[in-house]
Amino acid sequence: MAKTLKDKINEYKKDLAQYSRLSYDRGLVAARGGNLSIRIPGTERVLITPSGISLRDITPEIIIEVDIQGNLLKGKKNLKPSKETPFHTSIYRIRKDVMAIAHVHPPFSTALSLKDKPFPLLTAPGMVNLVKVPLVEFALMGTKELCDYVSEAAKQNMEVKTLLLKGHGIIGMGPDLASAYYIADLVEDCAKVALLSSI
């Protein structure tokens, strides 16, 4: 029997909970940082993690649904969409190939983002799978300024799978959530190797 859209949405919510916990367990985020989202195929709707909750504690039941402009569609009354919803939905509007986003705050990548130098791709997996990691200028979390910087970087780098936010971590992008997560994980591994090689 073919899966209904409702069945698929329930699966996406489970994926968001799974990869949220993986992000926390892997050390890609700490405390209540980071946010993940999925564009629902064939619609103008997006599922995103809520604001103010650790990715460690995300469950399918608390995932929030917004439209492609970021307007709230469905969610528990006491929860709000991630404060970074504007740049998630902006990327989806700009990049039709992107179906999922993993925004995480890992330490090695964040440290490298502060050096104001091109991101060093020293490993074969990084060279082949990333090619380029553009740096996005610093702005505070959840601000229009940050959304504008991310949007401009997405427009100027239509081929990339990731963006590095100065002082703020990684945006991994992919055709599905697993791909977006593993891109972010690969960026962090490349950053770790680069910093260790400089010791």
Task: List the catalytic residues.
Answer: 84
Interatomic CA distance for residues 97 and 33, integer angstroms:
26
Q: H or E segment at 171?
A: strand 169-174
CA contacts within 13 A on the Cβ side of 101 = 33
Concatenated DSSP letters of 83-128? TTHHHHHHHHHH-TT--EEEEE--HHHHHHHTT-SPPP--SHHHHH
Return the residue matching tokens 């698929």.
8
Concatenated DSSP letters of 42-53? TSSEEEEPBTTS
CB 129 within 8 A of CB 161: yes
Judged by phi (left if over 0) then psi (alpha if -120 to 50, else beta), residue 116 lies in left
